[in-house]
Chains A and B, each alone.
Chain A
Amino acid sequence: MAGESYKTHEHDVLVIGAGGAGLRAAIEASASGARVGLVCKSLLGKAHTVMAEGGVAAALGNVDDRDNWRVHFSDTMRGGQYLNNWRMAELHAQQAPDRVRELEAWGAVMDRTPKGKILQRNFGGHKYPRLAHVGDRTGLEMIRTLQDHGIHQGIEVFMEFTITALLKDGGRVVGAIGYDRERGRFHVWKAGAVVLATGGIGRAFKITSNSWEYTGDGHALAYHAGAELVDMEFVQFHPTGMVWPPSVRGILVTEGVRGEGGVLRNKDGKRFMFDDIPDLYKQQTADNEEEGWRYVTGDKNALRPPELLTRDHVARCIVREIKAGRGSPHGGVFLDIAWIKEKLPNAGEHIKKKLPSMYHQFKELAGVDITQEPMEVGPTTHYVMGGVKVDGDSQMSSVPGLFAAGEVAGGLHGANRLGGNSLSDLLVFGKLAGEHAAKYAKDNSPGHADAGQIEDAMHEALAPFERADGENPYDIQHDLQDMMQDQSGIVRNENDMAKAVDGLAGLRERASRARADGHREYNPGWHTALDLKNLLTCAEAVVRSALDRRESRGAHFREDYPGKDEAHGYHNSVTSRGPDGHMSVVRRDIPQIRDELKQIIEEMG
């Protein structure tokens, strides 16, 4: 490695990640005059955001004028079981409508109401139809709009680069180091402020809707730079992923299917979601099929069907049916949208119009025509509520100069995220992060990272090439995914998780011996070897936080503590790297909520 060189770039703001959050941050920072660099692992426009289907939540009130930010705020808090960072939930609900309208000013074309306004659809946990959408390809519309607007903003884009470490000057983050995936050469970015927008950690689990990019890089980068993570026990298992054929297991089936009238049935044809409606939602949920149908077809006086309860609950009901032997042939349950032909004359066309990519996905990957027959679905790892702990107003982490937005940031969603609240999260907090990062860069003199940090980072990244007889990194990754799925997945308990802690220690040791074959140019084996550190850091944070929360709340379900424990309702789990280098998880009290916000929650019931 001696004499390994690197190229240096300088920016006021460096944004790591080019999904919705990163693009929105970069646009805002550059609009305020900052010189912006934007780094991403894939090509521009391919980030995870492109896959989002159902819609973006914003209380525009276009379909039901009773909607407003207060209702959205209280829905978000209820969905998060009140562990949310309430300041973020407030800003999010207030600013989402402007952020969505702004997308239209940049060329987005959402579906319309009969009056020509942006159409909104029903989604789980949202009291009124709130999700602006384009069929079931909303994420594509959003990322393409931001991309096509962003390319005219003078942002310097680095496609197919991976950041491996943040650089510090004393206590402050002043840049990052990484390599270009094409050539495998190192680059150093010096920056006044850094925004993490790297998305989630889903690849730590076996069954997931997430792509290879979701190895928790941002979570791990922040953690190793000394930042705090929050709520890491809360991993969302989406109730409806594909289960058959095996190679597509985990691919998402949008909640939009249920929003358009799709129902869940077990093998006996029973709509089992009526069997268990949680108290918190009793007043808002229909108790008969007819009323549920009226709700999805726009009857304002009807209550929503239980299929549209929050994701954590629906996922657990599905697991219950499967475990009780009432599942579908391939270990899922049935999701049926074809049944609406009993109600609508041109149901087939209607389904294709409203859910075009679901229609194609099932037709082409599973050979199933969803206008004629039910789909088989089961839970899939989808989203991480936990992330970098940030200040609600500025999005700055506990380390000065380091900001985070989007899925990599924690707080907004508390114990469970509502569908559609992620895309709006990206827009609202992407903007705020970009704005405050630019301001921070302007207000602070440039920092300096010493050469030692850079040498160390390059050395660590190249180490797998020096272990010719090391282990295949794919095997280690698969074992980690299997272990997390079985021992820290949808249903958790003390025993399994204690085993997982030991298991992680073993995997860490194996990862330190992972090898890379071949060259540095576009080498996925090498990349996988480097991802392991991030995946392991995130997995450990999940397991340790989950062990400490001895109750069931939101997405975190413990069969040894199946009930909610009020004593746990007042704190978040905060993960950080202790002075001895070991991971520590502490309970941190949630700050007292402002009176007027408390009042909103009480009024909305």
Chain B
Amino acid sequence: MGESRDVTFRVWRGDASGGALKDYTTGITTGMVVLDAVHQIQAESAPDLACRWNCKAGKCGSCSAEINGKPRLMCMTRMDEIDTSVPVTILPMQTFPLIRDLVTDVSWNYEVKKRIKKFRPRKPDNADGSWNMAQADVERVQEFRKCIECFLCQDVCHVLREHERHPEFSGPRHFIYTAQLEMHPLDTEDRLGQLKDEQNIGYCNITKCCTKVCPEHITITDNAIIPLKERVVDEFYDPMTRLFRIFKPGKK
């Protein structure tokens, strides 16, 4: 199993009313990830240390935290890629209200999603209620559908993090969600008005911080946000498009 060496973790302990960083030292062996260390600390010395996790394999998006200042999934951050000569700091995501320790209140994201107009498919192509779609046409959408809702992109986006524009700016996760609906080969709904006025996609100034932290490697800015911005511009600011629409209704 390899040598165990002691590593110190500086973990945020506390709730909405306040708290402090607390040091815990635990033995690290080959291949361990940060989440393993947190579990070990729970079992050894802090049974009430709160953290979320489910899959331990980067599939559920529960274990988001800020490790040495970087928004990461704890279950996919290997200890051997971290400098352990100094204490390893683990903070909860800073953009969301704290519940306790490493657990934050992300319920806002669920509310935002609910307000985005739902999928509305065209009539089925076949008698059994199915549709035909080419693989090439679904790949773009499949990229966005890889999202595991870890909300790390929301955590890092300065519009939410520094400017706290939570109610009116839906954030990169929901641009991905909307892009996935808008570019879905079967969808017939129009969400461009929502994107402009309710999601305020215009606030995004394409810093690409969201893309950099996405553990699913979704090209959030280039593949989703920029094309959506273009569609919004075409729809609302380009007189030719508006004219064109009179003759050719339908969004795609």
Query: Contact residues of A with B, CB < 8 Å?
Result: 42-48, 50-51, 98, 101-102, 104-107, 109, 111-112, 114-119, 134-135, 137, 139-141, 144, 148-149, 151-152, 159, 182, 211-213, 244-248, 251-252, 357, 360-361, 364-366, 472-474, 478, 516-519, 521-526, 528
Contacts and interface: CB of A to CB of B under 8 A. Distances in A.
B99 A365 contact: no
B33 A247 contact: yes
A140 B148 contact: yes
Nearest to B76: A364
Nearest to B109: A43
A462 to B, nearest CB: 15
B233 interface: no
B5 interface: no
Interface string B27-69: 0011111001000001100011111111111111110000000
Contacts of A116: 131-135
B57 A361 contact: yes
Interface in B94-108: 99-101, 103, 106-107
A104 to B, nearest CB: 6
Interface of B: 1, 15, 29-33, 36, 42-43, 47-62, 76, 78, 99-101, 103, 106-107, 110, 113-114, 118-119, 121, 124, 128-135, 138, 141-142, 145-149, 181, 184, 186-187
Contacts of A47: 54
29 contacts: A43-B106, A51-B55, A105-B129, A111-B138, A112-B133, A114-B135, A116-B132, A116-B134, A117-B130, A135-B142, A137-B146, A140-B145, A141-B145, A148-B113, A151-B114, A152-B114, A182-B103, A211-B53, A245-B29, A245-B31, A248-B56, A248-B57, A364-B78, A365-B33, A365-B78, A521-B15, A522-B50, A523-B48, A524-B51
A526 B42 CA distance: 12
A474 B181 contact: no
The 4 closest A-B pairs by CB, nearest first: A245-B31, A525-B47, A518-B48, A116-B132
Contacts of B50: 521-524
A51 B53 contact: no
A245 B49 contact: no
B138 to A, nearest CB: 5
A19 to B, nearest CB: 11
A23 B29 CA distance: 39
Contacts of B55: 50-51, 211
Contacts of A523: 47-48, 50
Contacts of A213: 54
B132 A117 contact: yes
Contacts of B48: 516-519, 523-526
A245 B49 CA distance: 25
A103 B103 CA distance: 32
Contact of A43 (B15, B31, B52): B52
Given A211-B55, A522-B99, A523-B48, A43 B62 contact: yes
A522 B145 contact: no
Contacts of A104: 121, 130-131, 186
B124 to A, nearest CB: 8
Contacts of A522: 50, 99-101, 103
A187 B160 CA distance: 33
B154 to A, nearest CB: 14
Contact of B31 (A98, A139, A159, A365): A365
A246 B1 contact: yes
Given A48-B54, A50-B60, A211-B54, A109 B138 contact: yes
Nearest to B75: A365
B121 A105 contact: yes
A115 B30 contact: no
Contact of B42 (A109, A182, A357, A524): A524
B61 A46 contact: yes
A132 B132 CA distance: 15
Nearest to B56: A251
Nearest to A139: B59
B57 A112 contact: no
B110 A44 contact: yes
A262 B60 CA distance: 26
A111 B128 CA distance: 18
A519 B54 CA distance: 22
Contacts of A98: 129
Contacts of A101: 128-130
Contacts of B134: 112, 116
A105 B125 CA distance: 11
B36 A247 contact: yes
Contacts of A361: 57-58
A511 B124 CA distance: 56
A257 to B, nearest CB: 15
Contacts of A478: 43
Contact of A149 (B54, B118, B132, B142): B118
Contacts of A245: 29-32
Nearest to B50: A522
A116 B130 CA distance: 10
Most chain B CB inside 10 Å of its own CB: which residue of A45, A213, A364: A364
A248 B31 contact: yes
A109 B184 CA distance: 9
Contacts of B57: 51, 248, 251-252, 361, 365
B173 to A, nearest CB: 12
Contacts of B51: 524
Given A43-B52, A246-B31, A109 B141 contact: yes
Nearest to B62: A46
B106 to A, nearest CB: 7
Given A50-B60, A148-B113, A245-B29, 17 more contacts: A43-B106, A46-B61, A51-B54, A51-B55, A105-B124, A107-B187, A109-B133, A109-B184, A112-B133, A112-B138, A116-B135, A159-B107, A182-B99, A245-B31, A361-B58, A472-B43, A524-B47
A302 B119 CA distance: 41
Contacts of B113: 148, 151
A106 B119 contact: yes
Contact of A365 (B54, B76, B107): B76
A388 to B, nearest CB: 23
A46 B109 CA distance: 14
Nearest to B120: A107
Contacts of B59: 50-51, 137, 139-140, 357
Contacts of A212: 53-54
B1, B57, B78, B132 — which one has the most chain A CB atoms within 10 A of its CB?
Answer: B57
A398 B50 CA distance: 38
B17 to A, nearest CB: 11
Contact of A247 (B31, B49, B114, B147): B31
Contacts of B32: 245, 247
A105 B50 CA distance: 39
Contacts of A106: 119
B189 to A, nearest CB: 11
A495 to B, nearest CB: 29
A151 B101 CA distance: 29
A51 B54 CA distance: 9
B42 A474 contact: yes
Nearest to B142: A109
B192 to A, nearest CB: 19
Residue from B36, B106, B113, B145 with most neighbouring chain A CB atoms (10 Å) = B145
